[in-house]
Amino acid sequence: MGTTMSSFPVYSFDNAIVRLPPVSVTQGLRAEDRGAPTHEGVGTEHRLYVEALQAAGVAVEVLPALEAFPDSLFVEDPALVFPEGAILLRPGAQSRFGETAAIEQVLRRRFDKVLSLPAPGFADGGDVLVTPDKVMIGLSDRTTQEGADALIALLAELGRKGVIVTTPPGVLHFKSDCSLLDASTMLATARLAASGVFDGLRVLLVPEGEEAAANALRVNERVFVGADYPRTAAMLEAEGYSVVRLPTGEIAKIDAGLSCMSLRWHS
């Protein structure tokens, strides 16, 4: 706490918060029915994810499961965390409304400054991409204009610049289609890159058919990539990145990816 924005890269983390998947995760939200995940399968993917964070040099706090909230292991949606403080969000799906209150005390224990997104707007952390010079907020079915406007004001209180961008039609979250690889490089789907939202940045396109791989996660010197996307992993390795392949087949059944399972920051 109290560290300036410029003292380390935005993908440099030494702390993370995760939440164990509840048995009810089999009832998690999904845009299309690709079959329900199993609790055991999600649990295995979550455990390997935590181990990968730890291997990358991150201290991980593991919160207990919340049976009342099937999607509660995706802790990135109800909150944002930065070295300067945390922001409690208002998830855009009704079944997730209570997740913010469930994580509030944890964040107040870990951060000196905790801000709250006011009603009536909604914003999901999955629509928020932090880059070195700005915080991109994608409008979607889960993040409204009112929520994005209010979030920009809260980000300003933390010394961060927020900008509103558009999520492609049919895409759940902005970060479903992109991730930050380094200070000047994005990994993105062709449909999102075509919107021009990353003009001025180097963009690597995920191979056709591996669109879900765009939700990768840069953690310190490593890039986590879904193990089901070998062409994307090979492309990133050829670009010189240290790739960690992680299974995501079960969480993908409930529209999730690698970024949403943790809240990460540098203390």
**Which tens digits make up the pLDDT trace of 81-97?**
999 999 999 998 889 99
Please confirm, yes or no, whether 178 is among the known catalytic residues.
no
What total number of domains does the chain contain? 1
Per-residue tokens: 135: 């915080």
Please tell me whether residue 179 adopts helix, strand or coil conformation. Answer: strand
In order of 40, 48, 89, 106, 130, the CA distances from 153 in angstroms are: 41, 36, 13, 23, 15
Query: Residue 130 corresponds to which tokens in the numbers above?
Result: 């932090």
- Assign residue 161 a region (left: φ > 0; alpha: ψ between -120 and 50; beta: otherwise): beta
pTM for this prediction: 0.95
* DSSP state, residue 170: T
Average pLDDT over every residue of 202-207: 98
> From the candidates 46, 173, 178, 266, which is the catalytic residue?
173
pLDDT tens for each residue of 123-170:
999 999 999 999 999 999 999 999 999 999 999 999 999 999 988 888
Which residue segment(s) compose the domain that 51 sits in? 5-265
Distances in Å between the alpha carbon of 53 and those of 17, 115, 145, 246?
A: 10, 26, 33, 11
Catalytic residue among 39, 46, 178, 260: 260
CATH number at residue 105: 3.75.10.10
- Amino acid (1-letter code) at residue 111: F
Q: Using only C-alpha atoms, what is the Rg of the chain?
A: 17
